[in-house]
Amino acid sequence: MPEIDLDEELLLGELKRQGVRARMAAWNDPAENWDEPLPTLVRSTWDYIHHIAAFRGWLARAERAGPLWNPRRVIECNLHKSYLFELERRGVAITPTQLIAAGSSRALEEILRERGWTDVVVKPAVGAGSFATRRFRASDFAAGGEFLSAALLERDMLVQPYLDSVDAWGERALVWIDGEFTHAVRKTPRFSGQDESVSEALAIDERERAIGNAAIDWCANDLLYARVDVAHGADGKLCVMELELIEPSLFLKQNPRALTRLAEGIASRLRRL
C-alpha cells in the first residue's frame, strides 16, 4: 500500500458493525498463511504492478484456499490495459489508445504523426496510482520521446491523446457495488508524483450508466465491486478511460450508502459459503 486508502478503515468498521470479523493483510507478507481456508477481499494492492509474476501466484494461492473477491479470472483480465481493446471489440467506446510493446524502438513522434495527436498522455500498460504517467504537449515531445524510450526498456506502454474535457467536466469515476452503480465522483487529472483530488458524490446520469453497464457486461455476474472511469472524447461522446476491477478506490467516504452496500454484499456472500 504505497499510499493511504481511505476506504479501508471505513469498510473494516462497517463490517464489524454487521458482525463480520475482518482484518487487513499484505498480499506479499511472508508471515501470512494464504493457505488458510478463508475468503479474501482484494483492496489496496497498489504495489502489485512491480511484482506481476508474484501477484499472479498469490492470486492463484488465495483462490485455492477460499473465495477471492473479485475472482481471479476477472482480476487477471484487468491486469494489463490491453483490456481496452477487448472493450472496443465489444462495441464500448474507449479513449483512443496506442500500445507499444516493451523492447520496441518505436519513436513517440512517429506515433503522433500517424495519429495526428498534439497533446498526449504516456503511461504503463500495467500501472496504478499514476505510476510513470506523464503528459507531453507539442513543445516537449522530445522529452516525451526520451521518457517513452526509457520506459520501453522495462515495460509495455500506452500513448493516448489528452482529453480536453477532463479540465472542465472532469474524469468521472462510476462506482459499482454488488449489482448496481451507486455513485460517481469527479477526478482531476493526475500524473506521476501528484495527489488525487476528487469531488463529493455525484449522481450518475443515463448516458454514464449506459456506458458503465456496457463496460462490465462481460463479467458483472462475477463482480463484488468495480469502477468505470469515463470522460468525453474529442467527438463529445463518452468513452471509457479505465476499467478498474482489481483494487480501485471506491470513494466510500463520499457515499455512506455505498459503504453499507459493500459490507452487506460481503456478509451475504459469507452466509452462502
d(CA 229, CA 270): 29
Dihedral angle sign, alpha carbons of residues 77, 79, 80, 82 = positive
Q: How many CB atoms lie within 10 A of CB 238?
A: 21
Identify which of 192, 75, 69 has the alpha carbon closest to the alpha carbon of residue 128.
192
**CA 66 distance to own-chain centroid:** 24
d(CA 233, CA 251): 24
Identify which of 128, 129, 109 has the alpha carbon closest to the alpha carbon of residue 117.
109
Confidence (pLDDT) at 149: 97
Dihedral angle sign, alpha carbons of residues 176, 177, 182, 185 = negative
Count of alpha carbons within 13 Å of 20, Cβ hemisphere only?
23
Q: What is the pLDDT along the chain (273 residues), one digit of tens a residue?
A: 556 788 999 999 999 999 999 999 999 999 999 999 999 999 999 999 999 999 999 999 999 999 999 999 999 999 999 999 999 999 999 999 999 999 999 999 999 999 999 999 999 999 987 889 999 998 899 999 999 999 999 999 999 999 999 988 889 999 999 999 999 999 877 665 556 678 999 999 999 999 999 999 999 999 999 999 999 999 999 999 999 999 999 999 999 999 999 999 999 999 999
The letter for the amino acid at 162 is Y
Confidence (pLDDT) at 197: 77
Please give the model's pTM, rounded to 2 decimal places.
0.94
Confidence (pLDDT) at 18: 95
The letter for the amino acid at 9 is E
Confidence (pLDDT) at 196: 67
Confidence (pLDDT) at 194: 59
Identify which of 33, 43, 101 has the alpha carbon closest to the alpha carbon of residue 75.
43
Confidence (pLDDT) at 129: 78
How far, CA to CA in Å, does 9 sit from each of 6, 40, 45, 145, 211? 7, 16, 15, 41, 31
